[in-house]
Each structure stands twice: as structure tokens, then as C-alpha cells.
Amino acid sequence: MTKKLELDLGEINLSLLKVEKRWPEIDNELDKQKIGRKDIPFDRQVREQMMCAYEYVNQILSEEIVPFSLESFSRMLELNNMVHYGKDYTLRLEENKAILTSRKKFYDHIGVLEKWYRKHKKRGDHPLKLASEIYVGIVGYPQLFVEGNHRTGSVIASWIDVYNGYAPFILSPDNAISFFKPSSEIKHFSDKSTWRGRLKLPKYKKSFREFWEDHIDDKYLKKR
């Protein structure tokens, strides 16, 4: 970890609140551009659950947990739980079967992503490249989680950014369409050979890294 940074939860909430208020407009534009309407509308509940996830990222950062270390895996699973259930632990008990199913899928697939991350980290790849390509790995087939891969993937990738001293990506009305378009393409890409093969796809590696670098923003970091 290069220097201790912290997410500015107030600024993040303001951005997500704007997305919530303009969601019908954003969703209509997704349909118009044939990207596809989102199955889950970005409403107050989704915003609050995302805020729980970002609050948890700050906790992870304060603990100095290394991304893709063995101790980071439980934190990634908790981030997925946060984007689904927030801090509603009664709902978590009701959805325990779904949580256990997602946990199994996560552990079935995280090993390849871990190996890729460690290899590329060791050889000195730029942290923003690591973050953007990990997002591609989480969202693309067969997906790391049962549900919530876009939301959890963007949070995990932002954690990688901030851990390494860079700004996070936060959804806003200005970047929503340009975020959901490549995310949708990545999701529906059906190279079913290996995770490794998909992560090497130059089209998605290059284009999404460029998107990621263009849309991270220091204003979402707490001023010290």
C-alpha cells in the first residue's frame, strides 16, 4: 500500500443520488442505444446498499488488507453481500441459501483471478490496469458471483485503485451510459474456454482500461 487513502462517502453518495434521481432517463437511454434496460433499477435501496459497500471498503483500507491476499477473499464476499443486502441481517438470514450458493461459485473461480493478479502485480503492471482487467474478469463469463457482478466488480476494482494510491470509479449520470455499454458487452461475451483466455482479450482489456483511467476521480477521495 503506497499511502493511506480514504473514500469520501459524502461525495460518493451525492453522485449516486444523482444517478437515482435520473435513473428513468438513464434507463431509457440504455434501451434506446440497445444496451438493454437494467434488471434492477437504481433506486434508493440500491444506492443505500452501494453506500454500505463503499463504507466497508474504507474499513478494508483501514485494515490494510492486500487485494487478492487470502484474507481478502472474505472481504470480497462481504462486498457482494453488501451490494445485495446492505446491513439488513434479517434479509441475509432469509437469503442464506443464495448467499451460500454465491460463496461456492466465488471459491470455485477466485483461484484463477488470484493467480493472474499476483503474476501481473509481480511483473509491475500498472495498478489501473490491474483494477480494470480484474473488473473484466469478474463480470465476464462465467462471472465470479451469482448476482451483482457489475456492482461488486466496480467496488473491488475501486478498492484496488485506492489501495494503490489512485482515485476510485464512481457511477454518475455523466458516465453511466459509457460504463454500462462495455460492461454489457463483456458480460455477454461467451468465450467458455478459460478465465485466462478471456482476461487476455485485447479488445476488452484495452477499451475498458481506457474507460477506467478516464473516469476515476480524485473528488471521491477524502481530503487530508
Are 47 and 19 in contact by the 8 Å Cβ rule? The answer is: yes
The CA–CA distances, whole Å, from 179 to 32, 35, 40, 133, 175 equal 15, 11, 16, 14, 6
What domains does the chain contain, in order, with CATH numbers? 9-220 (1.10.3290)
* Gap between the Cα atoms of 21 and 85, Å rounded: 21
* Gap between the Cα atoms of 97 and 68, Å rounded: 25
The CA–CA distances, whole Å, from 198 to 74, 136, 194 equal 25, 8, 7
**Each residue's pLDDT tens digit, 135-164:** 988 998 789 999 999 999 999 999 999 999
Q: Could you give the percent of the chain with pLDDT greater than 90? A: 78
**Each residue's pLDDT tens digit, 203-224:** 667 788 999 999 999 999 998 6
The alpha carbon of 219 is separated from its chain's Cα centroid by a whole number of angstroms, namely 18
